[in-house]
């Protein structure tokens, strides 16, 4: 297939997640960079991705990215750690390189690791889906960077379904209980990394529970400024982007309560 993005500035920014959680990233990015056009695709039919096999994650993510490319996105952010862990590199090296060489797919794990390193953390606890934890992607990237941060990690598969159903208080309580057990197990930690885009909705409750320490790293507070720097450093990509401030949200399967939950995840406003 021939890539048709040939220099015209009509490309949108796409965001992919398994479900509604990635909307928090859309909201944060669109707030900081309001002029661009955004398309969100949530693969609610296959949620949760976090306990699927790598092959399944690859195939659903590829289909989601293709959907966003069909909707004229020239830059896609995989707003999902599970799909950023292993699938992202595979998509970049194969599908993207051969079929859409002019477009870009970015993930959320590398920017989060950069933020973790820059924060000066010494001992951190990563909460993420089963698949993200099993990939050891965070540990591998930290090691590659030469960082000596001690990273403890725990899979928290119970949280995504609760958040996706809008049960935020229940999810926050469960997260606090999990963190307590982990701190008893590993000793003191100075940072908690919310390594799943759904968990951004728990950051306020966790900050209320812990005060200033440990620091809570939440991806809705990381991805917007990382994307800004990426676009500053890549004018050849930025120049493709259209600027009509449109936002559209698409889901692979719909439920009557999704509109309400999506509005809550977006902070009370539908975009
Ligand atoms: N929001 C996704 C992530 O960041 C995962 C949700 C899921 O398990 O589908 O990993």
Do 143 and 208 lie in one domain? The reply is: yes
Judge if 194 and 257 occupy the same domain.
no
Question: Is a pLDDT exceeding 90 seen at residue 5?
Answer: no
Banded model confidence at residue 3, pLDDT cuts 50, 70, 90: low
Please, where are the H alpha helices in 71-151? 81-85, 87-91, 97-99, 109-118, 130-135, 137-144
- The answer, yes or no, to whether residue 267 has pLDDT greater than 70, is no
Do residues 126 and 52 share a domain? no
Query: CATH code at 179?
Result: 3.40.50.1860
pLDDT in tens, 168-226: 999 999 999 999 999 999 999 999 999 999 999 999 999 999 998 999 999 999 999 99
Distances (CA, A) of 94 to 63, 88, 90, 101: 14, 10, 6, 10
Q: Which residue has the higher pLDDT, 219 or 255?
A: 219
Domain assignment present for residue 94? The answer is yes
73 catalytic per annotation? no
User: Do 229 and 201 reside in the same domain of the chain?
Assistant: no
- d(CA 158, ligand 1 centre) in Å: 11
pTM of the full structure: 0.94
Residues 6 or more apart whose CB falls under 8 angstroms from that of 54 comprise 86, 87, 131
Q: Please state the domain count of the chain.
A: 2
- Return d(Cα 24, Cα 21) in angstroms, integer: 6
Q: Which two tokens stand for residue 118?
A: 């820059």
To test ligand 1's pocket by mutation, which of 83, 129, 134, 171 has the most ligand atoms within 8 angstroms of CB? 129
Sheet holding 123-128, edge to edge: 150-155, 123-128, 191-194, 215-218
Q: Output phi, psi for 250, to 5 deg.
A: -130, 140
* 254-86-150-79 Cα dihedral, nearest 10 degrees: -30
- Same domain for 201 and 259? no
111-120, 210-219, 257-266 — which is least confidently predicted?
257-266
Share of the chain above pLDDT 70, in %: 94
Which residue range(s) make up the domain with 188? Answer: 110-218
CB atoms within 10 A of CB 14: 29
Residue 173 lies in a domain: yes
C-alpha 247/C-alpha 244 separation (Å) is 9
Q: How many alpha carbons fall within 13 Å on the CB side of residue 222?
A: 25
Q: Helix or strand or coil: residue 229?
A: helix
Q: In this structure, is residue 95 part of a structural domain? A: yes
Does residue 271 sit within a domain? no
50 CA closest ligand 1 atom index: 8
Measured by CA distance, the residue closest to atom 8 of ligand 1 is: 50
Same-domain status, 114 and 209? yes
**DSSP symbols for 150-217:** EEEEEE-TTHHHHHHTT-HHHHHHHHHHHHHHHHHHH---SEEEE-SGGGGGGHHHHHHHHTTSSEEE
Query: pLDDT tens across 64-102, in order?
Result: 999 999 999 999 999 999 999 999 999 999 999 999 999
Active-site residue among 78, 151, 196, 227? Answer: 196
Residue 124 lies in a domain: yes
Q: CB under 8 Å to 259, separation ≥6 — which residues?
A: 270
Residue at a domain's end among 179, 198, 218: 218
Does ligand 1 have an atom closer than 6 angstroms to the CB of 198?
yes
Quick one: 201 and 153 in the same domain? yes
DSSP notation for 2-14: -----S-S-BEEE
- Same domain membership, residue 157 and residue 256: no
Best of 42, 45, 50 for a ligand 1 pocket test (most atoms within 8 Å of beta carbon): 50
Taking residues 152-166, report their average pLDDT. Answer: 94
Ligand 1 mean position to 239 CA, how many Å?
30
**17 in contact with ligand 1, CB cutoff 6 A:** yes
Task: Indicate whether residue 47 lines ligand 1 (CB < 6 A).
Answer: yes
**CA 148 to chain CA mean position, Å:** 24
Say whether both 169 and 251 belong to one domain.
Answer: no
In a domain, 48, yes or no: yes
Query: Quick check: CB of 129 below 6 Å from ligand 1?
Result: yes
Are residues 124 and 212 both part of a single domain? yes
- Claim to verify: residue 86 and residue 165 sit in the same structural domain: no
- Residue 4 domain-assigned (yes or no): no
Q: Say whether both 158 and 202 belong to one domain.
A: yes
2 within a domain of the structure (yes/no): no
Q: Residue 75, Cα to own-chain centre: how many angstroms?
A: 15
Instruction: Name the CA radius of gyration of the chain, rounded.
Output: 18
What is the pLDDT of the chain when averaged over all its residues?
93
């Amino acid at each position: 297939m021939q890539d048709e993005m040939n220099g015209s500035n009509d490309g949108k920014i796409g965001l992919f997640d398994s479900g509604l959680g990635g909307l928090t990233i859309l909201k944060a990015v669109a707030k900081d960079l309001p002029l661009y056009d955004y398309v969100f695709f949530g693969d609610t039919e296959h949620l949760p991705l976090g306990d699927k096999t790598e092959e399944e994650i690859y195939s659903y993510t590829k289909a989601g990215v293709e959907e966003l490319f069909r909707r004229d996105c020239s830059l896609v952010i995989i707003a999902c750690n599970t799909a950023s862990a292993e699938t992202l590199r595979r998509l970049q090296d194969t599908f993207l390189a051969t079929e859409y060489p002019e477009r870009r797919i970015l993930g959320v794990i590398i920017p989060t690791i950069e933020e973790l390193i820059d924060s000066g953390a010494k001992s951190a606890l990563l909460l993420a889906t089963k698949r993200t934890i099993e990939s050891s992607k965070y540990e591998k990237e930290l090691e590659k960077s030469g960082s000596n941060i001690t990273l403890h990690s725990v899979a928290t598969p119970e949280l995504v379904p609760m958040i996706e159903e809008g049960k935020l208080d229940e999810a926050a309580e469960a997260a606090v209980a999990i963190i307590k057990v982990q701190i008893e197990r590993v000793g003191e930690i100075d940072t908690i990394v919310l390594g799943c885009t759904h968990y951004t909705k728990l950051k306020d409750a966790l900050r209320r529970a812990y005060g200033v320490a440990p620091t809570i790293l939440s991806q809705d507070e990381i991805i917007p400024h990382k994307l800004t720097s990426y676009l500053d450093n890549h004018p050849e990509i930025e120049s493709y982007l259209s600027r009509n401030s449109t936002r559209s949200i698409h889901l692979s399967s719909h439920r009557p309560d999704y509109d309400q939950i999506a509005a809550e995840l977006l902070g009370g406003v539908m975009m």
